[in-house]
Structure 1
């Protein structure tokens, strides 16, 4: 309490009979669920997680197989397109060779300069793409 101006000092004192008793003893509450309940809950959560992982893997495998099937279905079309491009480049290369070597006697256009008995092996695509 504040001291009034010009009056005697006033001091806070306990009420008559004292303050009420304060209970300071700790009250321990419930200790929580039993261990078997915690283990059961953990096993259920982990089991559910494994089931979800299995379902996700199955779905991922399905879409991966579907994508692979689509690529395999398109492969012949892409190969045919690449073959047509290769034929055009080969024709252009043979025409250029004929133009360059027209003054050389006994030159056969398209014939290998290496006289071996090895059968023809198609060149890799990277050789024609300039890689």
Structure 2
């Protein structure tokens, strides 16, 4: 309700004959594809995604196998290299031990100071990295 300044209240009313009719139905556009088309499209997209995941997993497995085979092929060569390095360092360590302990009677170079029957385990190469 509108109230003019200093006058009686005036009620807002529609114009004579009423407001014009709004044709909203003619303004509505197409509602889109039917639900069966949406479901079919979604199923096709998801199926394609699963196929691609399967192909990618197969390819990834192939390259993983290739990498593992390469490592296994190189392992003997790398182990032989490490063994040669260990032998050289062991010779050097035994020569140093012989030089240091030459004045100790009864000392046997290279013999373990521990008297156990444990099988021999080569020391880690990283123990010699401090040289």
Which range, TM-score by smaller chain?
Answer: 0.7 to 0.9
Q: What TM-score do you get using the length of structure 2 for normalisation? A: 0.75
Q: Deviations over 1:26-84 (max 9, x none)?
A: 42222111000000000001100110111011000000000000000000000000100
RMSD between aligned residues: 5.2
1-10 vs 50-59, which moves further? 1-10
Structure 2 unaligned blocks of 5 or more: none
- Residues in 2 aligned to 1:13 and 1:39: alpha-carbon distance in whole angstroms: 50
Query: SS of 1:49's equivalent?
Result: helix
Structure 1 unaligned blocks of 5 or more: none
The structural deviation recorded for 1:19 is 17
The structural deviation recorded for 1:114 is 2.0
Q: What TM-score do you get using the length of structure 1 for normalisation? A: 0.75
The structural deviation recorded for 1:8 is 36
